[in-house]
Amino acid sequence: MTNNPRDTSDSDAKQDNQGKQDVKQGIKQPDLHAKSIPNSSNKLVGYLVLSVIGMFGFGFALVPLYDVMCDALGINGKTNSESVIQPQGMQPDYSRSIRVEFMSHINPDMPWDFVPEKRTLDVHPGEVIQTQYLALNRSSEPLVGQAVPSVSPGEGATYFNKIECFCFNQQALAASENTVMPLIFYIEPDIPDSIHTLTLSYTLFNITHSLNAEPEVVEVASNMRSTDSLVAH
Domain boundaries, the chain: 77-209
Own/partner contacts of 167-170, CB < 8 Å, gap of 24 or more, are 167/81, 167/202, 168/81, 168/82, 168/83, 170/144, 170/145, 170/146, 170/207, 170/211
Does 20 or 96 have the greater pLDDT score? 96
Q: Tally the C-alpha atoms within 13 A of residue 24's C-alpha that lie toward its C-beta.
A: 6
Q: How confident is the model at residue 138 (pLDDT cuts 50, 70, 90)?
A: very high
For the full predicted model, state whether its pTM sits above 0.75: no
Domain formed by 77-209, architecture? Sandwich (2.60)
**Once rounded to an integer, what is the mean pLDDT over residues 50-62?**
48
pLDDT higher than threshold 80 for residue 26: no
Share of the chain above pLDDT 70, in %: 55
